[in-house]
Structure 1
Amino acid sequence: MRIPILLWLSLTLSLLSCGNNQASMGEPAAEVAADTDGSADMEMAPASEEASVDKSIVSAAVAAPGQNNEPISATPAANRKLIYHATVRMKVADLARANQRMDSLTRAVGAFVEGASEEREDGEWRHEMKIRVAPARFQTLLAGLGRLGTVESKQLTTADVTAQHADITARLVAKRALEQRYRALLAKANKVADMLEIEQKMGEIREDIEATESRLRTLNDEVSYSTITLTYYQELSQRRPDAPVLSFGSRLLQSFYNGWELLTDLVLGLMEAWPLVLLVAAVVAAVRAWRRRRASRAK
């Protein structure tokens, strides 16, 4: 009986030791798994943060213009609204030939002359014009102008109107939507007073819409076509006339006229100074009378 009991006890102890070993082996495995999961979470956290930041930047870049009434600051350069303007003044040797070359140059780059004037003054034959050209040909046209003559001055300016364009567009959309709402109210109005009031409001909104559309058209035109204000001139030679040769008789007659003018000026000057002449005459008469009285007393 002792042998089966000892055998049973030994089996029981061996089973308990195996269970403890498996439990001790399971705990490190669980800790390793937990550490692995934790490190994976820590590695994924920065990636998720970067993804969220990228998404916010992209969403800000593609946001509709005028949303929240804030200008777009992440718009790509290719989509920006830029206005280019240049002012050029140059001197040419032959203005007529320069005009012909200007016509050929503007046709070659697809530009057109919006306004021109020509005048001769101050020893110059001057031509002024306002040229409109597509932005893609702006620099090409400027380079061509430099070959017409000697450039004396050149000024280039670039205006970024992206935010202004977006603001005007958003205002226009809002005003059109407001006009549609007033149209819906007008269709539902039953009273004459309400109808008149709504029509008055619609008239005011229509004026605002037309003014905003005009501003937007002007802005689009300035963006679509760059402007070059060009002035080129040719110096004109001024010949001095030769002095005429006067004969002796002509010189004698001219001297007589000069003497007559001198006498006339003298008489007129005395006539203008008559109060002073009278005052001097009165002083002289008083002095003489005083001297005569003094001489008579001395005798």
Structure 2
Amino acid sequence: MRLHRMYCVIPLLAFSILIVACSKREIAEADATAAAESSADAGVAIMAEAASDNAAAAAPQKSVEAPAMQGPGVDPSQMASEVASQVDPQRRFIRTAQAQFQVVDVYRTALAIEDEVAAQGGFVVDNEIASQVQRVLSRPLGQGKRLELAEYTLHGELTVRVPSERTQAFLRAVAAQMEFLDRRSFSARDAQFDLLRQQLARQRAQDEQRELGDAVQAGGKLGDKTDAIQSRGTARASRDEALIAQKEFEDRVAFSTITLSLRQDAQVRRAERVDVDAVFRDNGPGFFSRVGEALQAGWRGCLELVIALMTVWPLWLLVLGAAILWRRWRKKPANP
């Protein structure tokens, strides 16, 4: 009977397990379908959001850009100016320029600038380079040596002359040697009236010389001739000065004057020096010798003190007399 019941229960259990497994599979498939649908919906939403972002980016709007940091080096455009290149057929300009900047190596930059000046058809007027010590630190190394560290900076001053029409090209070429531009200035002074003044002065000198020559040839007294000759010499000197001034003026117009100031970052010089104090200390006298010298010096000091006291012997006599009088006055009996 029990065996029959077991045979009836086992098929029922197997059927129940099969039904549960089928239901779990249907639930998993439903969950997967729902997840796929939700993923699709999310993808559509993301695509729509991206499309809206692209449309917003395509629309014109104001953008705020952060200021760019300037790195080492100078752009040639920073050394450009219309002042250095303007041309007017009715005017004559005297051009000058100044620039202060930092370089990597003052000596190499000075040589490169001189080469560029020669390439532009100019010449160098002044070239001065000097070092300036900021501070010096030292410490003993032993064995009579001392380590010295000196902080110093290099400065250079160059004055060059280049053809006026090549001023702009020269300054642009020099920009390649700069690390940082501190200051630059340009000047183009209209010199047409100065030129006219020079021409008129020269013409006056020539006219005065010609008139004096005519006066000398006309004859007259010896004294008048002598004065006329001296005046003629003065007129010739004025003519020569006017001619020289005109040549100088034309030179200043033809060649611009450029002053360049160079500086370099601080550097440190390391050197080993002789420690003089240590050398004297190591080669000085020994302990007993110093003790003997101290005793001798003390004895000599005592003798000098005695001599100094003997030189004021009148004072000691006055002190002794005052002491005697004081004792007598103390011993005098008081009146009843």
Q: TM-score interval w.r.t. the shorter chain?
A: 0.5 to 0.7
1:215 Cα deviation (Å)? 1.5
TM-score by length of 1: 0.56
1:100 Cα deviation (Å)? 3.8
Q: Matched residue of 2:242: which SS?
A: helix
Amino acid paired to 1:208: S
Q: Matched residue of 2:270: which SS?
A: coil
In 2: Cα distance, 1:135 partner to 1:195 partner: 48
Aligned to 1:237: 268
CA distance 1:240–1:284, change in 2 (3 Å): farther
1:227 Cα deviation (Å)? 0.6
More strand by share: 2
Matched, 1:144 2:167: no
1:273 Cα deviation (Å)? 11
In 1: Cα distance, 2:301 partner to 2:187 partner: 63
Matched, 1:135 2:164: yes
Q: Matched residue of 2:268: which SS?
A: coil
1:294 Cα deviation (Å)? 1.4
- What are the equivalent positions in structure 2 for 1:210-229 lying under 5 Å apart? 210-229=240-259
1:180 Cα deviation (Å)? 2.2
Q: Matched residue of 1:99: which SS?
A: helix
CA distance 1:158–1:293, change in 2 (3 Å): farther
- What are the equivalent positions in structure 2 for 1:71-220 lying under 5 Å apart? 77-122=88-133, 123-149=152-178, 150-189=180-219, 192-220=222-250
In 2: Cα distance, 1:222 partner to 1:272 partner: 78
Aligned to 1:291: 323
1:264 Cα deviation (Å)? 11
In 2: Cα distance, 1:82 partner to 1:269 partner: 82
Amino acid paired to 2:232: M
1:93 Cα deviation (Å)? 1.6
Q: For structure 2, list consecutive stretches of 5 or more residues without a partner in the other structure.
A: 1-86, 134-151, 332-336
Amino acid paired to 1:212: A
Amino acid paired to 1:166: L
Q: Matched residue of 2:258: which SS?
A: strand
In 2: Cα distance, 1:143 partner to 1:268 partner: 79
- What are the equivalent positions in structure 2 for 1:32-71 lying under 5 Å apart? none
In 1: Cα distance, 2:273 partner to 2:89 partner: 65
More helix by share: 1
In 2: Cα distance, 1:261 partner to 1:145 partner: 69
In 2: Cα distance, 1:252 partner to 1:164 partner: 76
Q: For structure 1, list consecutive stretches of 5 or more residues without a partner in the other structure.
A: 1-75
In 1: Cα distance, 2:197 partner to 2:166 partner: 28
CA distance 1:246–1:194, change in 2 (3 Å): closer
Aligned to 1:3: none
Q: Matched residue of 1:147: which SS?
A: helix
In 2: Cα distance, 1:77 partner to 1:85 partner: 17
Q: Matched residue of 2:197: which SS?
A: helix
In 2: Cα distance, 1:177 partner to 1:262 partner: 93
TM-score by length of 2: 0.51
CA distance 1:268–1:137, change in 2 (3 Å): farther
1:275 Cα deviation (Å)? 12
User: Share of identical aligned residues, percent?
Assistant: 17
In 2: Cα distance, 1:268 partner to 1:190 partner: 97
Q: Deviations over 1:147-192 (max 9, x none)?
A: 3233334344443333222112112112212322333343443765
1:132 Cα deviation (Å)? 0.3
CA distance 1:106–1:286, change in 2 (3 Å): same
